[in-house]
Chains A and B, each alone.
Chain A
């Protein structure tokens, strides 16, 4: 601690550039926002963990199912993962196809119109998807399930078909429709950003339109498509209403086309209102597990994107 320099003295050697008031205010505000999000996140985590703790210490016999938390939670996790994965596998190729159509094949007007409709789809609330899936889509799927049972019934996934269509596969397909807009619009954005120079490089080598897309557009857009898919997967993993309405829940089964299985969010939504004590802890712990899964999925996606960062062209 030295005395403040006299007014006439020059400031010490590496003079800091003057800080303007606007900068000070804005950097203060943005720093505060950044810290508040961390605080909120920490608060949520602490809440989840502290409320979930009792279940881990509890007597296994007292947990729902009577065999401890792990055996309670894994079928839920299985249902969640299977539904989300099917949704992702179905939605991604369709989304990439639509995005390519809009960005590279369609005449400008038509492309814009299709893009607009897809964006509208994103604005439909999930309850509406749930009701539609329950009322319209599920009954329509019943014949398909019958066909699957008949021809692929030797696989454990298609052993016996439901009469109502309210199955995990139905929920997965509705989830696919729900995540389609986000995957599509992210993919479309990155495809549109493909540098003209690279597209022309491919064309000048004698690439057809599709070959140009394969050599220039898709590799360039790959990280974006992965990012969009992960956003969609995140939405599918956490989707509550649609699944809760469509699926008629039940115990674990490999069979995807009959009643049975459920997902973590649906389980929580359906049981939370009446839950208390240990049951409440169970549900919260299940939520914590879902939180962990989502985090892991996102980290994995990042790793995939960064593994070939050198080749990304972002330089």
Chain B
């Protein structure tokens, strides 16, 4: 239930603006890959091309290929809706559906994607997803309360539960902890560690300790100057990036000598 992603010569645009230049990389299955880099270098942009959420923005488009187990996500015949069912996403700000209860939130994706579930199958999936997101014990007595009534950290884990309930191959997370306190952050980091036994996980983070703690591989993005497209400087095993990077820009960035 997890897939390998090969990105080949991907150029990403917002209308006429060339946001990211010629990215090529490989994301291994059953591992955590972190994207780091200064603000505006295109980490979120690259992440959003991996489930075709980029093109939701008017005028946004890409050239190049993203292969998931050799299937090109950008081939003409590929339906973006299918891609998004296989590649789940967790956003920077927790965004449970405000009009839905906790239960409905978790099952939102499933009720879109498939035939009707029986009540018992739905209950089972609900519990399994919430347990998977380490949220079950906290909410099991109030599954019919609004999802927006939880704390920020709980809401973010609810969003993770919602994402894993559809049993995707890959989970993308864009700074999932940036709106959270240290304790909730730890809870999510533990969760990421558990998720990687089943899923391919890609996470964007500004927190280098976090990248070092949770990821197996790290990609460093940079941009030469404002207005220039961002680019992938290097990607390697996380310990190597943090101890002995091969590019000077990476070393400057991780040692805080940046800009």
On whether A205 and B98 interact (CB within 8 A), knowing A200-B56, A310-B146, A311-B146, the answer reads no
Question: Which listed residue, B97, B99, B112, B149, touches A211 by the CB 8 Å rule?
Answer: B112
- Cβ contact within 8 Å between A311 and B100: yes
Q: Is B61 an interface residue (CB 8 A)?
A: no
The size bracket of the interface on B is: 20 to 34
C-alpha gap A216/B112 in the complex (Å): 12
For B162, list chain A residues within 8 Å (CB): 201, 205
- Cβ contact within 8 Å between A201 and B159: yes
Q: Is B187 an interface residue (CB 8 A)?
A: no
Q: Is B78 an interface residue (CB 8 A)?
A: no
Q: How many residues of A contact B (CB 8 A)?
A: 25
On whether A206 and B149 interact (CB within 8 A), knowing A220-B98, A220-B99, A308-B99, the answer reads no
For A215, list chain B residues within 8 Å (CB): 97, 108, 112
C-alpha gap A310/B81 in the complex (Å): 31
For B89, list chain A residues within 8 Å (CB): 204
On whether A201 and B91 interact (CB within 8 A), knowing A206-B109, A215-B108, the answer reads yes
For A201, list chain B residues within 8 Å (CB): 91, 95-97, 159, 162
Q: Is B206 an interface residue (CB 8 A)?
A: no
For B53, list chain A residues within 8 Å (CB): 200, 203-204
- Cβ contact within 8 Å between A311 and B109: no
Q: Is B85 an interface residue (CB 8 A)?
A: yes
Q: Is the interface of A mostly helix, strand, loop or mixed?
A: helix
For A310, list chain B residues within 8 Å (CB): 145-146, 149
What is the CB-to-nearest-CB distance from B187 to chain A, in angstroms, rounded to a whole number? 21
For A2, list chain B residues within 8 Å (CB): none
Q: Is B51 an interface residue (CB 8 A)?
A: yes
Q: Is A208 an interface residue (CB 8 A)?
A: yes
C-alpha gap A311/B102 in the complex (Å): 11
CB contact list, B91-132 vs A, under 8 A: 91, 93, 95-101, 108-109, 112-113
Question: Which listed residue, A203, A216, A222, A308, touches B84 by the CB 8 Å rule?
Answer: A203
Q: Is A6 an interface residue (CB 8 A)?
A: no
- Cβ contact within 8 Å between A219 and B146: no
For A313, list chain B residues within 8 Å (CB): 97-99, 148
For B91, list chain A residues within 8 Å (CB): 197, 200-201, 204
C-alpha gap A308/B146 in the complex (Å): 10
User: Which of A201, A206, A312 is packed against the most chain B CB atoms within 10 Å?
Assistant: A206
Per-residue 0/1 for B74-93: is the Cβ within 8 Å of any A Cβ (1 yes, 0 no)?
Answer: 00000001101100110101
- Cβ contact within 8 Å between A206 and B85: yes
For B100, list chain A residues within 8 Å (CB): 219, 311
Per-residue 0/1 for A23-65: is the Cβ within 8 Å of any B Cβ (1 yes, 0 no)?
Answer: 0000000000000000000000000000000000000000000
Q: Is A86 an interface residue (CB 8 A)?
A: no
What is the CB-to-nearest-CB distance from A87 to chain B, in angstroms, rounded to a whole number? 28
Question: Which listed residue, A203, A205, A222, touches B56 by the CB 8 Å rule?
Answer: A203
On whether A204 and B98 interact (CB within 8 A), knowing A215-B112, A310-B146, A310-B149, the answer reads no
- Cβ contact within 8 Å between A205 and B99: no
Q: Is A198 an interface residue (CB 8 A)?
A: yes
16 A-B pairs within 8 Å (CB atoms) are namely A197-B91, A200-B95, A201-B95, A201-B159, A202-B108, A204-B51, A205-B88, A205-B162, A206-B84, A206-B85, A211-B112, A219-B99, A220-B98, A308-B99, A313-B98, A313-B99
